[in-house]
Amino acid sequence: MPDPVAYEITTHDTGETILVLSGRLDLNRFGALSPLIKSLFDSYKPSQLNVDMTGINYIDSSGALFIVKLEDEAMARSVPFSIHGLSKEKMGILDLIDREALDAPSLATKERALNVVEQVGNASISATRDIYDIVSFCGELVYELVRSARHIRKVRWGDVVSYMKKVGVDGLPIVGLISFLLGLIMAFMSSLQLKQFGANIYVASLVAVAMIRELGPIMTAIIVAGRSGSAFAAEIGTMKVNEEVDALTTMGFSPIRFLTIPKVIASLLTVPVLTIFSIIFAIMGGLIVGVVGLNLTIFTYIQQTIKAIAIFDVVSGIIKSLVFAMTISAIGCQRGFKVRGGAEAVGNATTSAVVTSIFLIIVIDSAFAIILHYIR
């Protein structure tokens, strides 16, 4: 900690005020002395200000800046100002301060508030560039997938198995729990209405159809996007920050082939399986409500569920999950490759990967709903 600032203020009946400074007038004391400039003039209202610096044994450019600001304040208030007690060497420090530079306006450009039209324009340009980047990355990814299919032995299957564990095995507990609770809630809420019409048996059909056609694939995809899509973006983003991706390129490896292909293949293999488990757990949740709350037998509930299930619905659900898996893994990796900067950029890329994946999942599911309606 720096020594306390030593100063003394005396006033005379004539209105003359004397500021006596002693010790070191340097950067460590500049912060403590700065408030003195205003308070000196506001509290004492001097008609003349004299600064006695005889006791100053050291002064640097920060101390000189304090004296200059004190003099400028005196001039602004039309108060005569004088300094005495400094040697020629220390007075030379005061000459280092460029008064014209202090008074000159800042060269930094001031940010102007954008109007609505400009904000919309900037957002449109940013969205267009983002779409271009995504399409370009997907084109490279498709090329690498075709190349990997033709040279199957060159695929890094060890990494594929590792990512299958991370996406599938590690994600199964949370997918199963959420799906189980979702099926339980759906069955319970629908039973409250169907009881009034004596249609308890249709609770099984409602849960099965809703989960197989829509909720199973989309809920599984959203959970995978939050768990694995963000992990993909963070992993590649961190490698980008640490220049590991550049090292791969320097060594002649394709970053997309080396880093993205194993993640995409693992997602394509595991997300459909997770979707099937999600549907099964949801049906189990509905089964508990049917048996405990609706007095249905296990056999009756399962039989009604089987009657409600169509092969077309199961196949379309699996196809949805494959498209969702491709989308999640591709967006996660693409956001990771776009990272520029440090830890904050990695965090932004991770957030963007999750948000973009969920948005595209909803859009793709909407497109599937329209297409399947006409195909069915």
Residues 320/357, Cβ–Cβ less than 8 Å: no
127-184 tens-digit pLDDT = 899 899 999 999 999 999 999 889 888 888 999 999 999 999 999 999 999 999 999 9
HSE-CB for 322 with a 13 A CA cutoff: 7
Average pLDDT over residues 298-327: 92
Residues 353/332, Cβ–Cβ less than 8 Å: yes
Query: Other C-beta atoms within 10 Å of 69: how many?
Result: 16
Of the pLDDT bands very low, low, confident and very high (cuts 50, 70, 90), residue 341 is confident
Of all residues in the chain, the percent with pLDDT exceeding 90 is 44
Of the pLDDT bands very low, low, confident and very high (cuts 50, 70, 90), residue 271 is very high
Using CB atoms within 10 A of its CB, is residue 361 exposed (0-12), middle (13-18) or buried (19+)? Answer: buried
Residues 52/20, Cβ–Cβ less than 8 Å: yes
3-state secondary structure 107-167: CCCCCCCCCHHHHHHHHHHHHHHHHHHHHHHHHHHHHHHHHHHHCHHHCCHHHHHHHHHHH
Average pLDDT over residues 365-374: 90
- Judge whether residue 38 has pLDDT over 60: yes
Supply the pLDDT for residue 1: 42
Residues 208/283, Cβ–Cβ less than 8 Å: yes
Supply the pLDDT for residue 53: 82
How is residue 125 written in tokens? 């340009």
Q: Which residue has the higher pLDDT, 330 or 62?
A: 330
The set of residues, in sequence order, having a beta carbon less than 8 Å from that of 146 and lying 6+ positions away, is: none
pTM score, whole prediction: 0.69
Average pLDDT over residues 61-81: 83
The set of residues, in sequence order, having a beta carbon less than 8 Å from that of 202 and lying 6+ positions away, is: 194, 304
225-256 tens-digit pLDDT = 999 999 999 999 999 888 898 898 888 888 89
Going from the N-terminus, what domains does the chain have, and what CATH number goes with each? 6-103 (3.30.750.24), 120-375 (no CATH)
Supply the pLDDT for residue 2: 45
